[in-house]
């Protein structure tokens, strides 16, 4: 049953990733990205890491994707869709195959430190300590960058509306 769940989640992630790359509409690409992120959350559940699955759904699947969709809606997406061409497909395919080869090479040469059947439980106190002490400043910096990106998209949209 666990193996079936893994294959379903892996298929969901791959289908979402292919949808992001292959679909021409940027809003549909964002929806496919949400599908892929939800598949990753399913893998976190399979790894008995419910907290990471919840954070994946709430932060990435919710907040970041809503911000991305609003930024896409407020900028010149229709002009971006017209400029996209298939001239660079061979270069993209070569880059993707090189990245796949690097991942496979890393995967085959990795020494796993633990038994794969052993579940490592991390207490919530350790996660909270890491979030509020070690990672609080980078988290705030990322939130400011996303806020500036949204404000910039709104300013650009307002300037374009004034030019029309």
- Return the CATH number at 62: 1.20.120.1200
User: Do the domain assignments include residue 103?
Assistant: no
pLDDT of residue 85: 59
Cα 61 from Cα 46, distance rounded (Å): 18
**What's the angle, vertex CA 45, arms to CA 42 and CA 50, rounded to 5?**
125
User: Do the domain assignments include residue 13?
Assistant: yes
Report which of residues 13 and 49 the model is more confident about. 13
pLDDT of residue 76: 61
Cα 13 from Cα 7, distance rounded (Å): 10
User: Do the domain assignments include residue 118?
Assistant: no
Provide long-range contacts, Cβ within 8 A and 24+ apart, for 157-162. Answer: 157/74, 157/75, 160/76
Cα 57 from Cα 65, distance rounded (Å): 10
Query: Structural domain tally of the chain?
Result: 1
Range of the domain at 135: 2-82+123-163
| pLDDT tens digits along 102-133 | 988 887 776 666 666 777 777 888 888 888 88
pLDDT of residue 164: 63
User: Do the domain assignments include residue 60?
Assistant: yes
Q: For the chain, give the percent of residues with pLDDT over 70.
A: 85
Scan for tokens 């298939």, then name that residue: 86
pLDDT confidence tier of residue 60, bands split at 50, 70 and 90: confident
pLDDT of residue 75: 67
Q: Does 52 score more than 80 pLDDT?
A: yes
Q: What is the pTM of this model?
A: 0.58
Region 133-155 average pLDDT: 84
Cα 9 from Cα 140, distance rounded (Å): 31
């Amino acid at each position: 049953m666990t193996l079936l769940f893994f294959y379903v989640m892996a298929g969901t992630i791959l289908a979402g990733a292919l949808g992001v790359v292959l679909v021409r509409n940027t809003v549909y690409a964002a929806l496919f990205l949400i599908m892929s992120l939800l598949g990753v959350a399913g893998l976190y559940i399979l790894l008995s890491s419910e907290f990471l699955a919840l954070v994946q759904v709430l932060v990435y699947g919710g907040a970041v994707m809503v911000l991305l969709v609003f930024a896409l809606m407020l900028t010149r997406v229709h002009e971006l869709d017209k400029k996209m061409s298939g001239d660079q497909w061979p270069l993209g395919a070569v880059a993707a195959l090189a990245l796949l080869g690097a991942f496979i090479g890393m995967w085959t040469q990795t020494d796993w430190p633990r038994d794969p059947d052993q579940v490592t439980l991390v207490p919530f106190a350790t996660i909270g300590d890491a979030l509020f002490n070690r990672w609080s400043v980078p988290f705030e910096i990322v939130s400011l960058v996303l806020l500036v990106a949204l404000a910039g998209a709104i300013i650009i949209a307002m300037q374009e509306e004034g030019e029309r």
